[in-house]
A = this chain, B = another copy of it.
Amino acid sequence: MMVDKRKKPLSLSGEFRWIDRIRNTIGGTPEGGIGIGDDAAVIPEGLLWTTDAMVEGVHFLSSWPMDGVGYKSLASSASDIVAMGGKPLYALLTVGLPLSFSDVMYEAFLAGFEKAMGDFGIVLLGGDTVRSGTLFFSLTVLGRPFEKPVLRSGAQVGDSIYVTGTLGESALGLEVLLGKEIHGEKKEEWARRHLYPPCRVSLMQVLVSSYHLTAAIDCSDGFVADLDHIADESGVGYEVHIERMPVPERERGNSPFELPWSYALGGGEDYEIIFTSPEKIPPVVAGVSVTCVGKIVERERQLFWYGERVERENIRRGYTHF
């Protein structure tokens, strides 16, 4: 929410960012709630609330399997609730349909959407259906925190940085879906990982009930960009050991500039959870791997290690802009 999914902040006029413009002017925070600046808002009634849009030509192509687009649209919104330590409960679905959008495409979209509803335990309560020159889907999801909401802003110096699952396959899958020349035996698996991302509901429930999580975010913009969000909101820095990053074992390269490191660090849309905790978390929780990749340090220190120190600007971003 309030995050441009294509990495680059929208720069409508030079460096002027509209998200900040809204946050700093008309955005508000009700008493007992939390407004703009996290994965989801917290309303005074205690619920978590988020919205996300997926637009044709920006977030997906109409030539892609529409069941996957349907699945991903709900998974990516629900993931914002999970990243706040909550269970997604209800959704409203708004669809903007051009005349070219066929019944077959819509049926496929709804089939994927319905599968995600079942997988994550979400009930669809309504929405809006409108004509539009550009195909888009806009989702809003409400959820309830398992315990207290886990914010981006609570990371403390000395905390360990953890990542769930593996990173980078979604970005590789995007390249496959865009028809880019990608070498590897798992091309179809990667494409599927892009369209059918996880939503770590059960894992997060166990984590927040058993451990003290100081901050969390879902990995949607890419590991480095999302860790930056935690660092910015918490007023801290970080040290990351790239060789510890959870990329699939068989895909490990020999340098941080090789595939799949670059995809794991900059790829995005993995919808795994990045979180910080002062505690030692076991390597597998609720059947999902949890990897310690670094630690929180003092403000403005942003260090990457791969044996020796790696300059941040040398970390190639694997992500493809449309």
Contact = CB atoms under 8 A, between A and B. Distances in A.
Interface stretch (A126-134, A145-153, A285-293): A126-134
A157 interface: no
Given A110-B22, A133-B57, A133-B134, A126 B35 contact: yes
Contacts of A140: 51, 92, 140
Given A36-B126, A55-B132, A106 B18 contact: yes
Interface in A117-166: 117, 123-134, 136, 138, 140, 142
A131 B35 contact: no
A10 B133 CA distance: 14
A90 interface: yes
A48 to B, nearest CB: 11
Interface in A68-122: 89-90, 92-97, 101-103, 106, 110, 113-114, 117
Interface of A: 1-6, 10, 12-13, 16, 18-19, 21-22, 25-30, 33-36, 40-41, 43, 45, 47, 49-59, 89-90, 92-97, 101-103, 106, 110, 113-114, 117, 123-134, 136, 138, 140, 142
Instruction: List the 5 closest A-B pairs by CB distance, nearest first.
Output: A41-B125, A134-B134, A133-B134, A138-B138, A140-B140
8 contacts: A12-B101, A30-B89, A30-B123, A43-B125, A50-B92, A51-B138, A55-B132, A92-B140
